[in-house]
Structure 1
Amino acid sequence: MNGWIQAGTIDELREQGPKLIKGGIVVFYHEDEVHALDNRCPHLGFPLHMGSLCDGILTCHWHHARFDVCSGGTLDPWADDVPVHDLTVRDGLIWVNPNPGNGNPDQLYRNRLQNGLEQNIGLVIAKAIVGLIEAGVPETEIAAIGIEFGVKQRRQGWGSGLTILTAMANVLPKLDKQGRILALFQGMLHTARDAAGSGTRFLLDPLPGTGVSEERLTKWYRDCIEVRDTRGAERVLLTAIREGADEKRLFSMMSMAATDHFYVNGGHTLDFHNKAFESLKYVGHAQRKYVMASLVPMLGDTTRSEELHSWQSPVNLVQPLKEAFEELEKKGVSTGNEVCGIDEEELLQALLGDDPLRTVRMLKDALLGGASPVHLSQIAALAAAERVVRFHTQNDFGDWLSVLHTFTHAHAVHEGLIRSADPSWLVRGIFHTAATIYLDRFLNIPAAPRPAARAPAEEAPKPAELLELLDKQQQVAPAAAWVMHYLCSGGKPEALFNVLGHALLREDAEFHSFQMYEAAVSEYDRWASVPGPFAEKARETLLLAVTRYLAAHAPTSRETPHTAKIAWRLHRGEKLFEDE
């Protein structure tokens, strides 16, 4: 019995009760049979030899999880199966295989993650994620499991949970191992909560005929969305997918409908479209129809900002924008990346100024002059981030969401223009962003002072100091000042993004904080390869914006990350209880 462990005789076991042997294994004698299992309860690690065994059911006394002593299978979905060990009896002695025989652990963790998502059980989700990561499964593959679950198991379609999960998948390279575990867990948990009680989403069939032109399908799709006919729109979309339209063309078609009206659903609609298309790089090709179709339901009940009083009075923003769109549609816009002599600082200040009609003219003239829509949208996103930097804490706390929505919408327009095959329609989103930046101006009156540059220290502050600072409330200004000092002292942005990620992920953060972090990271990276003082200040602005927003929303009770911490400790074999 090379490598197997001796566990004594059957008579000893019958007389003395459960026996602990090397490797954390417990051996039971029950109903004339011998059983060997891991001694740690797979729920929270309590010693199973201290439990009760009756009628073939082993019950842990800590949380009353129940297990079939023969197979190790649990009766309670919030627990996991107990690993069982093969044994044999030779010459009256019991020998136990130290290696459990429950099958492929990789597949077991995948199955448990699926179970946790379906049952909306946070600890099961967390333990499965930890197990998969420790088994070497790529994090992007783990994210794909959650995305594929979410687009099929939420009847209302794409929502905030899937947006969080995709955003967190995008920022995984910015985080250390613990941060990556927390990012995936937060995204998965929010996806499961979103889907809980919703019911499976079944796709409609595409139209039966073939050969309909892409141009006509696009018109049909927009017409259906215009009258809020989401079922008709879904069939048209699935027809376009079946006919082989690529992702760029599909995004163009869908973003046209999303921008036919102004700043739809406070910017969330376009942001959700952007995240859904970003998620396609994680899921398999066969899943893309589920991802794209999941966007359609949200367009059936939308708030269209051109109908709002604030967009029409005291300054009518609607008519000038419509006139600009008509002229741009007639004359066309550039599809290149040329800057064409744009004064970036002048445009930035105009976007932040008090004359929205001047800003509309500047944007229109720049586009007609051949300027890159992508570059203009990048400056608009920077202006929206500047609103967050200037947001004064004497405003109502809920107003943080106004500047946040503008920024994430601006980011979605920027990323969408990079992705789109036809930017001529999505440029409308730049103007929608400009209008909301203007409408947010009162949230910068008075403007919060930008932290002053400080003399560099001999050594940059330790990033962990920021986490200590954010253990207290009302640290918006001190946190921004700390970041400025860190940058002035030569601190590395990579370490700062990691610690900002932990500042987010250690909290019971709500949806918008995840949006803010991911959008700031992405916009920073777009400016990272651009030389010059304007780009340098842009990067500084983005870091200050995300820091101020996260500081405003911390600390919380931190129950969610505590669950992930428990899962990690259990996986490493740590005790969560103390034996008296």
Structure 2
Amino acid sequence: MNGWIQAGTVEELREQGPKLIKGGIVVFYHEDEVHALDNRCPHLGFPLHMGSLCNGIVTCHWHHARFDVCSGGTLDPWADDVPVHDSTVLEGLIWVNPNSRNGNQVKMYKDRLQNGLEQNIGLVIAKAIVGLLEAGVPETEIAAIGIEFGVKQRRQGWGSGLTILTAMANILPKLDKQGRILALFQGLLHTARDSAGSGTRFLLDPLPDTSVSEERLATWYRDCIEVRDTRGAERVLLTAMQKGADEKRLFSMMSMAATDHFYINGGHALDFHNKAFESLKHVGQEQRKYVLASLVPMFGDASRSEELHSWQSPVDLVQPLKEAFEELSSMGVSSGKKVVDDEDLLRTLLGDDPLQTVRVLKEALLGGTSPVRIAQISALAAAERIVRFHTQNDFGDWISVLHTFTHAHAVHEGLIRSADPWMVRGIFHTAATIYLDRFLNIPPAPRPSAISAAEEVPHPEELLDILDKQQQVAPAAAWAIRYLRGGGKPEPLFNVLGHALLREDAEFHSFQMFEAAAAEYDHWASESGAFAEKACETLILAMTRYLAAHAPTSRETPHTAKIAWRLHRGEKLFEEA
């Protein structure tokens, strides 16, 4: 029995009861047989030798999780199965294999993650994430499991959970190890919650004849979306994919339909499209059709802003935009040298004359200004609305400026992905919402004042202390300015801001805010000059103010992840109970 552990005699075990041996293994004698299990209850680590064994079931006495003593399988899915060790008896002596039967740990953890998602059990999801990361599984591979689950198990299609998961996958490089665990857990847990009770989503078949041109399919897709025929749109989309349309062409077709109407679903539609296409880099080829088809159902009852009173009165924004689109369509958008001053455009976007804004945007596009650049400055203008959002506004209005910003970010990323001229309509939709949000800057909240360059750079962790209290929007912003103006590095700042988000029971929009601001920051950080530096500062302030406005919470969700991490490290949680 080379390498096996000697566990005493059968007679001793029969008389003395469960025996603990080296390696954290407990040995039971039950119904004339010897059984060896990991002694830690897989739920929260309570010693199983302190439990009871009756009728083939080991019951943990902390939370009453039950396990089959032979297989280790649990009757309570929230508890996980307990690892079992092979044992044998030779000449009255018991020998136990120190290695459990669960040889393929990666497969076991992937199965448990799938089970946790299906059953919507947070602790199971968290423990699976920790186990997979410790086994060396790439973080994006873990995220892919959740993406593939979400697009198949939510009948309503792409939703907030998948958006959070993709956003958190995007920001993983900005976080330390604990932050990456929290980011994956938040994303996967929200995906599970969003899918709970929904029912499996079954795809329709593509059309039987794929000889139809891509141009005709694009027209059909737009026509179906126009009349809210989501089933017809899905079949057309799947036909285009089966025909071999590449990602750029598919995005062009789908974003065209998403911008045929103004600011659909309060900006969420385009943001969801952006995140779904970003998620494609994580999933396999076969899953792509599920990801993109999941975007179609949202159009069945989508709100269209041109139908809203606020877009028509007291200033009619609808007709001027339609006229601008017709002119751009007839003359064409040319991408060339920069012809509009960044500061002038930013000032115009934040101005009080929406008709002038429409004219400036139209002339800039016709004159050769890059649509990507205009979209980037539009996103910056939307971030400025958040920086100047006054806390005397109704608290719910934070979401209004947030929606404008995330929509602007989606337009920017969309134009980087595809320079389709139809996509520029999204810039005008953003500009209109920036104008409509102007009342949320009346009066404007003051930007934090500059500080002396000699002041010491504050430690990033200080921000977390500030956000332990409510209503710390202004102090948090002032701290951020002290950090930035004092020469603080962006890497630790983003990490601590990430923890400020991930340690909370954050709602959907906070995840959107962090990821979009981080992405826009990276675009500006790649440039030099005073304007780019101030843009980076604006994005940090917008992110900090929004997170501060929504903290603290009860922090139950990250507590679950912390438990999972401590259990994996072998800590004895029950000793603190």
State if a TM-score over 0.5 links the two structures: yes
Q: CA deviation at 1:210?
A: 2.1
Distance 2:2 2:292 in 1: 56
Give yes or no for the alignment of 1:536 onto 2:527: no
The equivalent residue for 1:153 is: 153
List aligned pairs for 1:113-512, cutoff 5 A: 113-334=113-334, 336=335, 338-420=336-418, 422-457=419-454, 459-512=456-509
**Displacement, 1:170?**
0.3
Alpha-carbon distance, 1:79 to partner: 1.1
Figure out how many residues of one structure are paired with residues of the other and give that number: 577
CA distance in structure 2 between the partners assigned to 1:24 and 1:461 by the alignment: 45
1:541-580 paired onto structure 2 within 5 Å: 541-578=538-575
- Cα shift at 1:3: 2.5
Shift of 1:456: 2.8
Q: Which residue of 1 aligns with 2:2?
A: 2
Q: 1:489 deviation in Å?
A: 1.1
Amino acid aligned to 2:121: I
Work out the CA distance in 2 between the residues paired with 1:458 and 1:428: 46
After superposition, the C-alpha distances for 1:288-343 in whole angstroms (9 at most, x for unaligned) are 00000000000111110001111011111011100000000001112x4x442211
Structure 1 moving runs of 4+ over 6 Å: none
Partner AA of 2:562 in structure 1: K
Range with bigger deviation, 469-478 or 1-10: 1-10
- Residues 206-261 of structure 1, C-alpha deviations (whole Å, 9 max, x = no match): 00112101110000000000000000000000000000000110000000100000
Task: Name the CA distance, whole Å, in 1 between partners of 2:9 and 2:429.
Answer: 79
**Any idea what the Cα deviations from partners look like across 1:525-579, whole Å, max 9, x if unmatched?**
1111111111110000000000000000000000000000000000000011128
Tell me the alpha carbon deviations over residues 397-433 of structure 1, each in whole angstroms, 9 at most, x when there is no partner: 000000000000000000000111x421010000000
Q: Secondary structure at the match of 1:578?
A: helix
Unaligned residue ranges in structure 2 (runs of 5+): none
Q: Quick one: which amino acid aligns to residue 468 of structure 2?
A: D
SS for the counterpart of 1:251 is helix
Quote the Cα distance in structure 2 between the aligned partners of 1:407 and 1:88.
65
For residues 71-127 of structure 1, what are the alpha-carbon distances to aligned partners after superposition, in whole Å with 9 as ceiling and x for unaligned?
111111111111111122223211112111223000000000000000000000000
Retained in 1: the 8 A contact 2:179–2:502?
Answer: yes
Following the alignment from structure 1 to structure 2, what is the Cα–Cα distance between the partners of residues 347 and 176?
A: 37
Contact 1:378–1:411 (8 Å) recurs in 2: yes
Contact 2:339 2:367 in 1 (8 A): no
CA contact (8 A) 1:373 1:423 kept: no
Q: Does 1:45 align with 2:42?
A: no
Identity of aligned residues (%): 84
SS in 2 for 1:78: helix
TM-score (normalizing by structure 1): 0.98
Letter in 1 for 2:197: G
Give the structure 2 partner of residue 66 of structure 1: 66
Alpha-carbon separation, structure 2, partners of 1:340 and 1:114: 50
| Conservation of the 8 A alpha-carbon contact between 1:456 and 1:485 | no
Alignment partner of 1:577: what SS?
Answer: helix
Alignment match, 1:524: 521
CA–CA separation in structure 1 for the residues paired with 2:68 and 2:378: 61
2:531 maps to amino acid? F
- What secondary structure sits across from 2:575 in the alignment? coil
Question: In 1, Cα distance between the equivalents of 2:186 and 2:346?
Answer: 35
Quote the RMSD (CA, aligned, Å).
1.0
- How far the C-alpha of 1:5 sits from its partner, in A, is 1.6
- 1:339–1:375 Cα contact (<8 Å) kept: no
Return the offset for 1:184.
Answer: 0.5
In the alignment, what sits opposite 1:20?
20
Q: 2:89 matched to which residue of 1? A: 89
The 1-side partners of 2:466 and 2:4 are apart by 53
User: How far did residue 458 of structure 1 move?
Assistant: 5.5
Indicate conservation of the 8 Å contact 2:339/2:368, yes or no: no
1:130, 1:567 within 8 Å by CA — same for their partners in 2?
A: yes
What is the distance in 2 between the residues matched to 1:325 and 1:385?
A: 25
Unaligned runs of 5+ in 1: none
Q: Which amino acid aligns with 1:437?
A: I
SS in 2 for 1:467: helix
Rounded to whole Å, the distance in 1 between the matches of 2:119 and 2:101 is 26
Whole-angstrom CA distance in 2 between matches of 1:210 and 1:473: 58
Separation of aligned partners in 2, 1:524 and 1:339: 23
